[in-house]
């Protein structure tokens, strides 16, 4: 949830598979489904799924005329489960099947082996006497639709991987890691004028929870005197060196919607919060730097089963980068971009062209991202009442309500989806007020407004999600991070409205899941686990092994749809993505075990066997 301009970087139709169960799934419950880029990735990650493993086929007793397989179209195949209906489609009419059929880049059929063979080749509209080429996953493995992350920061993740700041226990240890990075990079080591940038420090996890200051940089001779800019883990604070601070002078006393931390004499300490981050001077990254960051992110994303990412806040620089990648046919993953809204710029919704399906349907940018408030971790989330641990403040809005009431309907009228970052209960209430006014007499399914995070909600506002048709874009791993300090910050009653997933669902809202990486772990299965257990990976929580407010858990079916068909709906692509249905893009993932039935405490042991995009393996193999 980067908080400044990203570093240069009712009635509504349900999509197929959009129905939800209302009962929370217990951590150990089983599924009740019926049983019957530049630079380009390596060649190993692009192996075509067109090789029939004849010995496996024969050993399983499915003799499929092997003497004629060579005449089968090379871009058509079936993938089947040998031990039951272990392909989860995220489609309500047929939630589990034995086989899927791919023709070219699309799904052509789904059903039992007998059914898809019987319908072949009519299912692809071709006349051929060639048999259907069949692959089998291993016993115990499952197939799910391609996984989506509904809220992440692609280029920022690549930047974060440069210096491992997360996990440091003190400001001094953080600076020591910066020093190691400088000394290991000859270009930086030998030129003290070059900027050093990193991401991931978290003062709430330090031995002594206090804000850092620029003096710590100056205490090390290898680090002192350099321009250093470090982004906090939650993206809502920048910690800078005195060298950068001098370049920013004169520094204003106050910044609306932000804060400049100062010492007892009133001098800036080098920490800038929320909108104040816009003051920080730093150079734009080069195209080559962006390529390197992008490649780092994509490599890890595909290895985790992600086939689509909603990037939550594209700057003009990063949007141009992705557009160029799409135009050159280089995008190895699907990107749904939210263009960052700068309230200091002129309104542009009526003169900027939307991007829809560029680069073979790999890039869409038809939404905007607005920041309403700050973050709970840094005390910037806008609350109705003061913080329990800091009664002097109730956070702050980063944008005035009257501005929201002005820009939201304007963007909607010009056909833009409006996605608003809102953490605190007051921020969520103000944004819902603006949505409610803007949606009067409007077809909400044509606009699909989203609240990004929707973390702290008054109960009355929970009901408005369902009534208005506003999508709740949530991050389950935030819940298991914040549960350790949430009550201290909010108090015993207000904390009940923090990450109240089940309550939001019960009021009829649609939820779509993301991670907010690099703020949290990229692994979508970490989000799946957090959503259904509300436990830390080690099985603990402030409320014990049953989970933190366990009544707010999601079911496994809801969590899977929250990573497949629901993000497709939230990005206007439910007709082409999100479920294993004939005619949709053949994006799917093979997992090493059945996350829908294994004990919850083993879910994080699951590995990705293969990630398939448009029918071709982009990670692993079948």
Q: How confident is the model at residue 130 (pLDDT cuts 50, 70, 90)?
A: confident
**Average pLDDT score over residue span 615-622:** 95
Handedness of CA 577, 579, 583, 586 (dihedral sign): positive
Q: How confident is the model at residue 87 (pLDDT cuts 50, 70, 90)?
A: very high
Q: What is the mean pLDDT of the chain?
A: 89
Handedness of CA 437, 455, 401, 233 (dihedral sign): negative
Burial class (CB in 10 A: 0-12, 13-18, 19+), 236: buried
Q: What is the pLDDT of residues 325-375, one digit of tens each?
A: 999 999 999 999 999 999 888 999 999 999 999 999 999 999 999 999 999
Q: Does 502 score more than 80 pLDDT?
A: yes
Place of tokens 């962006």: 290
| pLDDT at res. 30 | 35
| pLDDT at res. 343 | 86
CATH node for 154-279: 3.10.310.70
Place of tokens 């883990």: 233
**Average pLDDT score over residue span 487-500:** 97
Q: What is the pLDDT of residues 165-178, one digit of tens each?
A: 988 999 999 999 99
Angle between helix 287-303 and helix 316-327 axes, rounded to 10 deg: 70
Quote the tokens at residue 79: 């993938």
| pLDDT at res. 604 | 98
Cα–Cα nearest to 383, from 489, 256, 516, 254? 489
In whole angstroms, give the CA distance from residue 2 to residue 362: 24
Q: Does 499 score more than 70 pLDDT?
A: yes
Cα–Cα nearest to 367, from 338, 407, 341? 338
In whole angstroms, give the CA distance from residue 135 to residue 526: 29
**Average pLDDT score over residue span 465-488:** 96
**Greater pLDDT, 44 or 222:** 222
> Which secondary structure element, helix H or strand E, spans residue 450, and what is its range?
strand 450-453
**Average pLDDT score over residue span 206-217:** 93
Q: How confident is the model at residue 259 (pLDDT cuts 50, 70, 90)?
A: very high
In whole angstroms, give the CA distance from residue 313 to residue 320: 13
In whole angstroms, give the CA distance from residue 467 to residue 315: 32
Alpha helices in 185-228 (DSSP H): 186-189, 215-218
In our burial notation (b when 16+ CB lie closer than 10 A, e otherwise), range 353-370 reads: eebeebbebbbbbbbbbb
Helix, strand or coil for residue 142?
A: strand
Which of 44-48, 175-179, 511-515 has the lowest average pLDDT?
44-48
Where in 294-423 does DSSP place strands (E)? 306-314, 334-340, 355-357, 363-371, 417-422
For residue 418, is the peptide bond before it cis, meaning its omega torsion is within 30 degrees of 0? no
* Residue 310 phi, psi dihedral angles, 5° rounding: -90, 110
Q: How confident is the model at residue 126 (pLDDT cuts 50, 70, 90)?
A: confident
Alpha helices in 161-286 (DSSP H): 171-184, 186-189, 215-218, 242-247
Handedness of CA 559, 563, 569, 571 (dihedral sign): positive
Q: What is the pLDDT of residues 284-316, one digit of tens each?
A: 999 999 999 999 999 999 999 999 999 999 999
**Average pLDDT score over residue span 218-239:** 94
Helix, strand or coil for residue 12?
A: coil
Angle between helix 401-413 and helix 425-438 axes, rounded to 10 deg: 40
| pLDDT at res. 74 | 52
In whole angstroms, give the CA distance from residue 461 to residue 132: 52
Q: Does 70 score more than 60 pLDDT?
A: no
Place of tokens 């999100």: 578
In whole angstroms, give the CA distance from residue 545 to residue 538: 10
Q: Does 21 score more than 50 pLDDT?
A: no
Q: Does 65 score more than 60 pLDDT?
A: no
SS (H, E, C) 476-498: HHHHHHHCCCHHHHHCCCHHHHE
| pLDDT at res. 593 | 98
Cα–Cα nearest to 286, from 155, 153, 152? 155
Cα–Cα nearest to 271, from 236, 316, 299? 236
């Amino acid at each position: 949830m980067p908080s400044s301009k990203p570093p240069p970087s009712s009635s509504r139709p349900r999509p197929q598979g959009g129905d939800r169960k209302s009962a929370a799934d217990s951590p150990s419950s089983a599924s009740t489904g019926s049983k019957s880029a530049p630079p380009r990735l390596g060649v190993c990650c692009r192996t075509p799924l067109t090789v029939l493993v004849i010995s496996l086929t024969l050993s399983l007793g499915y003799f499929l005329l092997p003497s004629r397989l060579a005449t089968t179209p090379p871009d058509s195949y079936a993938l089947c489960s040998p031990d039951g209906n272990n392909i989860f489609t995220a489609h309500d009419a047929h939630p589990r099947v034995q086989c899927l059929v791919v023709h070219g880049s699309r799904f052509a059929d789904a059903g039992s082996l007998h059914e898809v063979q019987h319908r072949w080749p009519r299912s692809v509209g071709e006349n051929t006497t060639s048999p259907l080429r069949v692959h089998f996953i291993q016993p115990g493995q499952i197939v799910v639709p391609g996984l989506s992350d509904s809220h992440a920061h692609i280029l920022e993740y690549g930047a974060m991987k440069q210096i491992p700041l997360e996990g440091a226990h003190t400001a001094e240890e953080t600076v020591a890691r910066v020093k190691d990075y400088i000394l290991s990079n000859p270009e930086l080591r030998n030129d003290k004028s070059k900027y050093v940038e990193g991401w991931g420090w978290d003062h709430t996890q330090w031995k002594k929870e206090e804000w850092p200051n620029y003096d710590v940089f100056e205490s090390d001779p290898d680090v002192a005197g350099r321009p250093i800019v470090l982004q906090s883990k939650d993206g809502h604070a920048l910690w800078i060196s005195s060298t950068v601070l001098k370049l920013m002078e004169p520094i204003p006393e106050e910044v609306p919607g932000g804060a400049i931390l100062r010492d007892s004499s009133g001098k800036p300490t080098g920490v800038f919060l929320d909108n104040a981050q816009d003051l920080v001077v730093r150079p734009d990254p080069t195209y080559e730097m962006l390529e390197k960051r992008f490649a780092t992110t994509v490599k890890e994303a595909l290895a985790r089963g992600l086939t689509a990412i909603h990037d939550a806040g594209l700057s003009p620089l990063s949007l141009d980068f992705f557009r160029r990648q799409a135009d050159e046919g280089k995008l190895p993953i699907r990107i749904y971009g939210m263009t960052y809204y700068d309230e200091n710029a002129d309104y542009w919704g009526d003169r900027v062209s939307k991007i829809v399906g560029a680069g073979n349907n790999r890039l869409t940018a038809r939404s905007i991202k607005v920041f309403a408030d700050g973050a709970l971790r840094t005390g910037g989330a806008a609350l109705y009442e003061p913080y329990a641990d800091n009664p002097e403040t109730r956070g702050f809005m980063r944008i005035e309500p009257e501005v929201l009431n002005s820009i939201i309907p304007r963007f909607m009228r010009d056909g833009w989806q409006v996605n608003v970052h809102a953490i605190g209960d007051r921020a969520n209430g103000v944004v819902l007020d603006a949505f409610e006014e803007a949606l009067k007499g409007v077809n909400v399914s044509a606009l699909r407004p989203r609240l990004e995070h929707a973390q702290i909600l008054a109960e009355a506002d929970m009901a408005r999600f369902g009534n208005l048709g506003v999508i709740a874009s949530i991050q389950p791993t935030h819940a298991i991070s914040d549960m350790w300090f949430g009550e201290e910050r909010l108090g015993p009653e207000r904390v009940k409205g923090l990450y109240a997933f089940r309550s939001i669902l019960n009021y009829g809202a649609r939820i779509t899941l993301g991670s907010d990486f690099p703020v949290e772990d990229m692994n979508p299965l970490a989000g799946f686990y957090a959503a259904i257990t509300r436990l830390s990976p080690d099985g603990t929580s402030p409320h014990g092994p049953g989970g933190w407010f366990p009544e707010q858990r999601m079911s496994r079916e809801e969590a899977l749809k929250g990573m497949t068909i629901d993000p497709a709906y939230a990005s206007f692509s439910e007709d082409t993505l999100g479920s294993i249905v004939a005619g949709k893009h053949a994006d799917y993932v093979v997992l090493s075990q059945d996350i829908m039935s294994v004990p919850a405490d083993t879910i994080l042991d699951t590995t990705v066997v293969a990630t398939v995009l448009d029918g071709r393996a982009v990670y692993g193999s079948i």
